[in-house]
Structure 1
Amino acid sequence: MSEHSPPAAAGTGGQLRTLAVRITEDLRAQLDIIAQLTGRSATEEIRLALEHWIDRTKSDPEVLKKAEAVRADIEREAQTRRNAIAAIFSGDGAKEGSASHPRRWNSPVIRTGEQRLRKR
């Protein structure tokens, strides 16, 4: 737990983070009245409202469609990166080079340079 994050409330499953939200005086007055009527803090009322809004949004067909498109983009990008890593580390270079040196160490230029060094 960091010193900037208070412990999580019961049942939230994680540390709490601060979120500053600017609202009108009228909205704040309504929030305070609702908090007073329910016996909860304004912060708890806001948290409950956000949780409700997130639950509703997660089942919105338009949001679900956009989320699927984002997921597909992420998967394409991840596959591109996996392919790049595979090309770098598991390509033909490992087969052509010796076990102890990659292919670039066995190139004619490197061997010629090594031979020159040995002649000195």
Structure 2
Amino acid sequence: MSLAIISIFASSCYEIEETIANVTVVRINSVGEEIPVDEAEVRLYALGSLDQDFVGEPRFDTTQVTSDEGFVSFNFSDYYVGGQAGFAVLDIEVSKGALYGTGLIRIEEMETNEEKVIVE
């Protein structure tokens, strides 16, 4: 009987993995090669409900700056709620001086999600 109790307890406990969004920012040089863009400002955000008369408050709105490799990582683990179906689709806005780019990233809970944005 104690073995049954232990197995029930063990099966109900599971490790929650981190929910990560990684964004790589590149520009295309004259020969078509991807060049990492350092010090670019990367904004991930999702607005609340939208209609013609009302734009909801941002559900997520966070900004970071890319590394020398054009890379930035966002951790959304604190927003994860067990049992939810899906996590979020976030808009990406990237800027550095005159360079600008946009994109979307689909965030799956308890996974590392990656997207590349090309700035022009």
TM-score w.r.t. the length of structure 1 is 0.23
Bigger helix fraction: 1
Tell which has more relative contact order, 1 or 2 (C-alpha 8 A, sep 6+).
Answer: 2
Bigger strand fraction: 2
